Amino acid sequence: MKTDRKTVASLVATGVFLLFCAWGVWLAHNDIARRSAVGYLGFLKEMLSVLPMMFLLIGIFDVWVPRDIVERHVGENAGPIAILWMILLATLQAGPLYGAFPVAATLYKKGCAAKYVFIYLGAFSVMKLPMLSFEITFLGWKFSLVRLVFTLPVFITIGYIMGRSQACAA
């Protein structure tokens, strides 16, 4: 029943928000409300263009890939080569970070060590290839390269700290 109440609450919040937008757009000509409405539609489109397929693929991964394969390659005893696997997996993906949360949770459930799960999230947030090409275009390869060199040890360290301090709740 807890999830039901949550769904209702989020629907109510969305309704209030849309009413606010409508009020701002048609009655008050409020700039913030108008921009919120435009932003809302944009982000809704972004989420719906990524998340459904992401979840379908997570379902495929969950059902088709046996647990021992995940454990062998990126499990607790996999060794540092697993870091390379996680970074490779992360850089080849696209889309916003919230799309990576369910993937990370599923990896963990399948036996991927917590430290590697967080290294995956770190790599996903800072070094996806589509994003890097964009960054180089606007900020130059020197800026990107220096950022990568400093960022890499940071998110690997964060992964190890997170892996040691606790386990995921998922």
Partner 1 sequence: MLMFNLIGFCIILACFALDRGKTIRSVRRGLTMFWKIVPEMSVVLILISVSLAILTPEQLKQWLSTDTPAHFATALVVGSVALIPGFVAFPLAGVLLKNGASVMLVAGFLTTLLMVGVVTLPMEAKYFGWRTALIRNGLSFVGAVAIALAMGRVL
Site for partner 1 in 106-135 (CB under 8 A): 118, 121-122, 125-126, 131, 134-135
Among residues 60, 69, 84, 88, the one that binds partner 1 under rule CB under 8 A: 60
Identify the H or E element spanning 162: helix 129-165
* Rounded least distance, CB 159 to partner 1, Å: 10
Instruction: Show the tokens assigned to 75.
Output: 């499990």
Identify the H or E element spanning 101: helix 100-109
Interface characters, 36-55, with partner 1 (x: CB under 8 A): xx-xx-xxx-xx-xxxxxxx
* Rounded least distance, CB 164 to partner 1, Å: 11
CA distance 50 to 114: 25
Which residue, 5 or 81, has its beta carbon nearer to partner 1?
A: 5
Residue 81 CA to its chain's centroid (Å): 22
Query: Should residue 14 be labelled a site residue for partner 1 when binding is judged by CB under 8 A?
Result: yes
Q: How many CB atoms lie within 10 A of CB 163?
A: 18
Instruction: Looking at residues 71 to 110 of the shown chain, list those that interact with partner 1 (rule: CB under 8 A).
Output: 94-98, 101-102, 104-105
Instruction: Show the tokens assigned to 121.
Output: 């999230």
* Rounded least distance, CB 82 to partner 1, Å: 19
Residue 64: which residues within 8 A CB-CB, separation 6 or more? none
* Rounded least distance, CB 77 to partner 1, Å: 22
